[in-house]
Structures are given as C-alpha cells and as structure tokens.
Amino acid sequence: MSRDTQGRQPFAWRLQYVLPAVIGIVTLVILALQLGGGPANPALRQPSSTPSSGSSSTPSSGPSATAPTSTISSPGPGGSSEPTSSPPPGAVVLGRDLRPVDQAQCRSPDLAQGAAWQLGAVQLAGHPFPTAYYCDLFPGGVGSLDFVLSKAYRQLSLTAGFADTSQATNQTIELEIVGDGKYYLSPPRNLRFGEAVDVQVNVTGITRMELKITELSPPGGSGAPSQPALAGLTLST
C-alpha cells in the first residue's frame, strides 16, 4: 500500500481499523448503562414494581362482607337471630314485675271460646326462659296482651317463636307490636315452626302497648293447635 509524502498511511486505511474500535467502545458503554443504571433515556425506563410510600402494598378485596342478621324494620333498633334468655340488669320483666292490664284469648274465629294465655317457663330453640307468655293457637286464631308503660321506658326486648313443646306444624305466626295505635314492626315479623328471633323496639313515649299474635292459616281444619310464645319480655329505661 502506498504512503503519502510524509510516510503516513492513507486516511481510508486508518479508518477501517479505528471505526470498529469506536463502535466497540460505544457498545460497551451502552451495555454498562443497561446493566447498572437502566436505560439512559428515562422515558424508556420500566415501571417500578415497588409501590410508593403513599400507597398500600396489599390489594383490596372489594367491599367487606357483612353477615346477615334478623333485623327488624321498626321505629326502634333491630334484633339479632340468636335468642338470649338472660334479662339485662335492672330491667323490668313483663309477667313478673309488670302484668298486662288486658288479655285477648288465643281464639280462632270459628270457635266460641279461646285458650287463655299461660305464664311460666318455656324453651325456645333450646334456650330456657324462666318467664314467658304462651297459648294454644288454632289456624286463623288471634291473641294479644296489653301493658301500660306510662311513657316510663326506652326499649322493649323479647324473644318470639314456637315453644319447644309445640307440636310440629306448618302454621306461620305473625307478631305485631302496637304502641298507642302505632305499629312498631313494619312489616310484622312472621315466624315458622322451629324459628325463634330476638326483637328490640324503641318504646320511648308509649303509654299503652299491645303485643299481638296471629296465626296466618285459614280458620278451620282438624289440626292440633300450635304453641306460640313470647319470652324474655323486658323493659329498660
């Protein structure tokens, strides 16, 4: 290969050796940046998998599930489905501390006479209650108990259902609580055989209260009566 007049190699010949070396150096620099600090261009950087200090690292599972309860729709608080047989301290127990001023016998329209309310100990859904009102109720029958509260109490608590001594039946009973002509369960609470439920109702300002049980089947028939019960009747201030 010819040299110039000063003994140097032609520029094109030198370039074929220098250019690969430059490309190699640039390639090494790029690899070093990718391995050590990521791409030089911030716009090409991959999103970080580590959440920022202001976010939660635990994914949300959606709205929390609330166990359903036997809530009573009424002007007062609702109730739970687990019967409780122990009255709260200081409570007034209906049947022991406060007696009804009027009682309508549990009577079906097609019967001349009905069954009187009984006061005593019962079991509802396996739970013992030392004080309860119960009666023998035929299909289509109605019975009620009236108490004078004299606006002296804040809450009524009770457990309603069929007594464990009741014969098996397809009957359904309806519980209504009426204070001074106003219905405090809307809609009324319906119970089938084997069911028992706690009820709490705000009775603030009520002078006279009626507890009413109705058997919803058509009157008549030869079936045995059921035995609805109102147990754990307490008033608190």
Q: Are 185 and 201 in contact (CB under 8 A)?
A: yes
Q: How many residues does the chain have?
A: 237
40 has pLDDT over 70: no
Residues 138, 215: Cα–Cα separation, whole Å: 7
Omega before 187 cis (within 30°)?
yes
For residue 138 the two structure tokens come to 């035929």
Q: Residue 61 — pLDDT band, cuts 50, 70, 90?
A: very low
Question: Each residue of 137-157: pLDDT tens digit?
Answer: 988 899 999 999 999 999 999
For residue 32 the two structure tokens come to 């070093």
Residues 146, 174: Cα–Cα separation, whole Å: 17
Residues 134, 127: Cα–Cα separation, whole Å: 15
Q: Residue 70 — pLDDT band, cuts 50, 70, 90?
A: very low
| Average pLDDT taken over every residue of the chain | 75
User: What DSSP line would sit under 194-231, residue for residue?
Assistant: T-EEEEEEE-TT-SEEEEEEEE-SPS--SPPPB-EEEE
Q: Is the overall model pTM greater than 0.75, yes or no?
A: no
Contacts of 223 (CB under 8 A, 6+ apart): 138, 139, 169, 171
